[in-house]
Amino acid sequence: MKVALLGCGVVGSQVARLLREQADDIAARVGAPFELAGVAVRRIDRPRDPALDPALLTTDAGALVTDPDVDVVIEVIGGVEPAKKLILEAMAKGKSVVTANKALLAQDGAALHRAARRNGVDLYYEASVAGAIPLLRPLRESLAGDRVTRVIGIVNGTTNYILDRMDSTGASFDDALQEAQALGYAEADPTADVEGFDAAAKAAILAGLAFHSRVTSADVHREGITRITAADIANARAMGYVIKLLAICARDDGHGVGVRVHPAMIPRTHPLAGVREAYNAVFVEARSAGRLMFYGAGAGGAPTASAVLGDLVAVARNRLAGVSGPSESVYAALPVHPMGETMTRSYIALEVLDKSGVLARVAEVFAEHDVSIQTVRQEGRGDDAQLIVVTHRSSDAALAATVRRLRRLDAVRAVGTVMRVEGEDTA
Ligand SMILES: NC(=O)c1ccc[n+]([C@@H]2O[C@H](COP(=O)([O-])OP(=O)(O)OC[C@H]3O[C@@H](n4cnc5c(N)ncnc54)[C@H](O)[C@@H]3O)[C@@H](O)[C@H]2O)c1
Ligand SMILES: N[C@@H](CCO)C(=O)O
Ligand code: NA
């Protein structure tokens, strides 16, 4: 089994190492020896693992993927192009592909799946979501006989690390981000992580698999964590909540799905609240299976390479047996509903005038928009008076209209934090 590796960065270098160190075991498990046929890199002269044979390196990825000797291509370059072009070229030449590229899969997974089907090859991508954690294969295979109703979890390690540091040390967002960068969790340009793009791509992939429908990153409602302040974290803490960046894919009562990524307050007793540092955790809820929790390392070279190697073994077994792995399943074709129709609970902090009638006026605005209040609490006096409102479940559109109206209210000096509350199954 000849393997071409595209990209030799954080993940690729670990894939090359594991392929070398575990060659005998993998060969025994598959029933055929593996051989690294070539490694496409951008620059030959970079310092690399001395155990990696320099003769394998090439800057001509295009020639490597079409090499007639190559059976399987592993793409760990990242980004949409040239990764997409290289994958399509490999498939056109009858090669199966293993990739960790969530950005590409979430933007145009359909094109990759189409090419795989047309050419009778496999496309595996366990590493693309939640790194080492087996999550896509359970959705695609183990739960194929059930009806998944919801997937909710923490799928970005960098942002979880930042929020965890803010919560446990009182650090500001900027300081926590710098720490995450120093530890190598966040990218030099951390936009994809902190603005939620990375988590949104993962949510799109999860929703597509969970609900047998086509979901792209453009369908995902996305909010990042850059506006979260130390005060928000402290307010959450005071109410028994912790703030997490959540990816939520839910089948609604009608015939659609909602897919969203945003920060949310969850009770400190919720299992996701205990997910610390850069770890990931995902709950999958299915009609018959009930609630399943998947937890582990969602990022990092070796953990991600573990998922890549697992896929490589699957591809090799299929090839030897003369069969193909599961193809794309989008038969349900459920529409993705706009965020405005999503029902959520919310936390709203209002700076208000401290005088009689204010609470009544504020409550009236919520009532006018049919947003039901669960709790309201005043903090501070005089110029520091704050009303902290937590609502029952309402549509996101109704909540947004309520907030717009509150901003114009004389009794309200300013609308502070508005954040969704998740993880409590009360109405
Ligand atoms: N790092 C993680 O923890 C992690 C986890 C899960 C998934 N992923 C995914 O894995 C992929 C790789 O991530 P990474 O962290 O290893 O990134 P990286 O930037 O460390 O590595 C990518 C490598 O590809 C090389 N490259 C770029 N264009 C190339 C080309 N045309 N030909 C050959 N080489 C080229 C770059 O020089 C770089 O060394 C991405 O899709 C990423 O989203 C990463
Ligand atoms: N940047 C990503 C890598 C894993 O996909 C994270 O922090 O989770
Ligand atoms: Na995974």
Q: Could you please report the per-residue DSSP string of 126-161?
A: GGGTTTTS--HHIIIIITTTS-EEEEEEE--HHHHH
Residue ranges lining ligand 2, Cβ < 6 Å: 131, 156-158, 185, 193, 198, 298-299
Domain span including residue 382: 342-421
Shared-domain flag, residues 292 and 305: no
DSSP-based three-state secondary structure for 107: helix
Alpha carbon of 190 to ligand 2 centroid (Å): 10
- For residue 225, CA distances in Å to 199, 312, 385 come to 11, 35, 26
* The ligand 1 atom nearest the CA atom of 79: 41
* The ligand 1 atom nearest the CA atom of 78: 41
Shared-domain flag, residues 142 and 81: no
DSSP-based three-state secondary structure for 311: helix
Cα angle at 275 between 153 and 236, to 5 degrees? 85
Nearest residue (CA) to ligand 2, atom 3: 299
Q: Is the ipTM of this complex over 0.85?
A: yes
Shared-domain flag, residues 95 and 166: no
d(C-alpha 115, C-alpha 63), whole Å: 19
- Active-site entry in 84, 95, 102, 202: 202
d(C-alpha 198, C-alpha 196), whole Å: 6
Alpha carbon of 157 to ligand 2 centroid (Å): 5
Last residue of a domain, one of 297, 331, 355: 297
Shared-domain flag, residues 145 and 90: no
User: pLDDT truncated to tens, each residue of the chain (427 aa)?
Assistant: 999 999 999 999 999 999 999 999 999 999 999 999 999 999 999 999 999 999 999 999 999 999 999 999 999 999 999 999 999 999 999 999 999 999 999 999 999 999 999 999 999 999 999 999 999 999 999 999 999 999 999 999 999 999 999 999 999 999 999 998 888 777 677 999 999 999 999 999 999 999 999 999 999 999 999 999 988 999 899 999 999 999 999 998 778 999 999 999 999 999 999 999 999 999 999 999 999 999 999 988 999 999 999 999 999 999 999 999 999 999 999 999 999 999 999 999 999 999 999 999 999 999 999 999 999 999 888 888 999 999 999 999 999 999 999 999 999 999 999 999 999 864 4
Report the predicted TM-score, pTM, of the whole model to 2 decimal places.
Answer: 0.97
d(C-alpha 322, C-alpha 316), whole Å: 10
Shared-domain flag, residues 282 and 159: yes
223, part of any domain: yes
* 355 in catalytic set: no
144, part of any domain: yes
